[in-house]
Amino acid sequence: MTDRQVFPPLTLRATGLSCGRGGMTLTADLSFAVAPGQCLLLRGPNGTGKTTLLLTLAGIVTPLAGTFELEGTDSEAGPQLHYCGHRNAVKPRLSVRENLDFWAQVNGPTGLDIQEALAEVGLGELGGLDAGYLSAGQSRRLALARLLVTHRPLWLLDEPTAALDAEGHELVTRLLDRHLDMGGLALAATHDPITLPDPGRMETLALGVRT
Amino acid sequence: MTALRAMLGRELRLALRGGGDVLTLVLFFIITGAIVAFAVGPDSVLLARIAPGMVWVAAFLAMLLGLDRLFRPDHEDGALILLRQAELPLSAAIAAKVMVHWLVSALPLILASPLLALQLAMDGETFWRMVASLLVGTPALAAFGAVGAAVTVSIRGGGLIAPILIAPLSIPVLIFGVGSITASQSSAALLFLAALSLMAVSLAPFAAALAISSAED
């Protein structure tokens, strides 16, 4: 991947954002901005609203108050984000390749082709296997491959390294670093520390800390 | 268009690789007819009289069996959330699901209906009217079913609530469905049935999409 800056310069800006679920406010009055090529790490104990914040930014959960906006997007453009939650959306009855091909077709095949993406996440040999035989870590890798087959500027990652081995952690770091290289944005909720080669690209937002 | 085709292909593969799901529906449909024949007894005049109603009841019940797999697996593995960031609108994805639901849970019943007609002592002319009535009416049942399944998708173990929810909606379909089989004014009833189906199929994807969007909130 030699072409840097493939995405238009976008900024994710949230002002006074309050999120919550089931009538309970979890994160109150958050304001932050994520610039192109930046990754915001969400840290905090369990139940402090990391997932809820990501779901809110993905447009799944309505914010209780405040606004957020991906500045610089063309209003005609389609969906701008990839959400990678803790459920992998892998269908056990379809083969690994069919699973990935479905998401490539539905999201638009603008990124790597299927075989390249599978090789990238270390599943290159398993394309024809029923996804039901994959281990938890391999399913996770398949879910990450979905981010590669369609180019989208904003990645919302919820525990991206869950179930992954040490090499898998490096994979997530590598994919994230390359995504930021292309001018992408990322928010990642994680308990495992992610260290990018260039620490200047990372900021940390601590949730659930009383100030 | 490719996105819609991909959605249709995935749904069909998932349904047909289900390991006998379709066969179960067909057997259920046929067995319902057989039970009626045994319960009522070998009175072919009576059987022929109640046959149109029994066919529709059997079709209605058999189509309920497949409802739970319409959205629940996608809800549980997170695919439903991801479909909301897809290039194709959620309502289009749901329309594809409704189409495939009809293909795998209504079309096989129609193909198996000669067996039911035989068990219920139906004559030839009535049989063809029944086929026409099922062809025109079952899309409405599939569409109403999708709305019921979408509304109950976030309720744990809600698979049994959907049938109760959609039963009142399905009553007009059953009334006009049976009406279009029994002789007098059958063509008028068939037109009403067609209108019901068209309305249900065109509105259900949007209603179901709305239900699913608010279910996650």
Q: Chain A: nearest CA to B85, how far in angstroms?
A: 6
Query: Quick one: pLDDT band at residue A1, thresholds 50, 70, 90?
Result: very low
Q: Chain B: nearest CA to A108, how far in angstroms?
A: 7
Residue of B nearest to A146 (CA): B82
Tell me the ipTM for this assembly.
0.88
Tokens of B136: 């025109």
Alpha carbons A72 and B124: distance in angstroms, whole number = 67
pLDDT in tens, B102-111: 999 999 999 9
Q: Which structural domain range is residue B141 located in? A: 2-216
pLDDT in tens, A87-97: 999 999 999 99
- Is the CB of A90 inside 8 Å of chain B's CB atoms? yes
| B13 vs A60, A89, A94: nearest CB | A94
Q: What are phi and psi of A95, to 5 degrees?
A: -75, 165
Alpha carbons B165 and B171: distance in angstroms, whole number = 12
Q: Chain A: nearest CA to B83, how far in angstroms?
A: 8
For residue B16, is pLDDT > 60? yes
- A-to-B residue pairs, Cβ atoms closer than 8 angstroms: 79
Chain B contact set for A87 (CB, 8 A): 76-78, 81
pLDDT in tens, B43-67: 889 998 899 999 999 999 999 988 8
Query: Quick one: pLDDT band at residue B163, thresholds 50, 70, 90?
Result: confident
Q: Is B55:B130 a contact under the CB 8 Å cutoff?
A: yes
- Is the CB of A79 inside 8 Å of chain B's CB atoms? yes
| B7 vs A81, A86, A106: nearest CB | A106
**How high does pLDDT run on average in chain B?**
91
* Least confident residue range of A170-179, B60-69, B149-158: B149-158
Q: Do B86 and A62 touch (CB under 8 A)?
A: no
Helix (H, G, I), strand (E, B) or coil at B165: helix
- Is the CB of A132 inside 8 Å of chain B's CB atoms? no
Alpha carbons A43 and A188: distance in angstroms, whole number = 9
For residue A188, is pLDDT > 50? yes
- Is the CB of A130 inside 8 Å of chain B's CB atoms? no
Alpha carbons B136 and B130: distance in angstroms, whole number = 10
DSSP secondary structure letter of residue A95? B
pLDDT in tens, B25-38: 999 999 998 898 89
Query: Quick one: pLDDT band at residue A162, thresholds 50, 70, 90?
Result: confident
- Is the CB of B103 inside 8 Å of chain A's CB atoms? no
Chain A contact set for B7 (CB, 8 A): 102, 106
- Is the CB of B35 inside 8 Å of chain A's CB atoms? no
- Confidence at residue A2, expressed as pLDDT on a 0 to 100 scale: 45
**How high does pLDDT run on average in chain A?**
88
Chain A contact set for B1 (CB, 8 A): none
Q: Do A87 and B76 touch (CB under 8 A)?
A: yes
Give the total number of structural domains in chain B: 1
The percent of residues in chain B predicted with pLDDT above 90, rounded, is 68
For residue B10, is pLDDT > 80? yes
For residue A138, is pLDDT > 90? yes
Query: Quick one: pLDDT band at residue B42, thresholds 50, 70, 90?
Result: confident
Q: What are phi and psi of B11, to 5 degrees?
A: -65, -40
pTM: predicted TM-score of the whole model, two decimal places: 0.91
Helix (H, G, I), strand (E, B) or coil at A82: strand
Report the pLDDT averaged over residues A79-105: 92
Q: Do B5 and A108 touch (CB under 8 A)?
A: no
Q: Chain A: nearest CA to B90, how far in angstroms?
A: 11
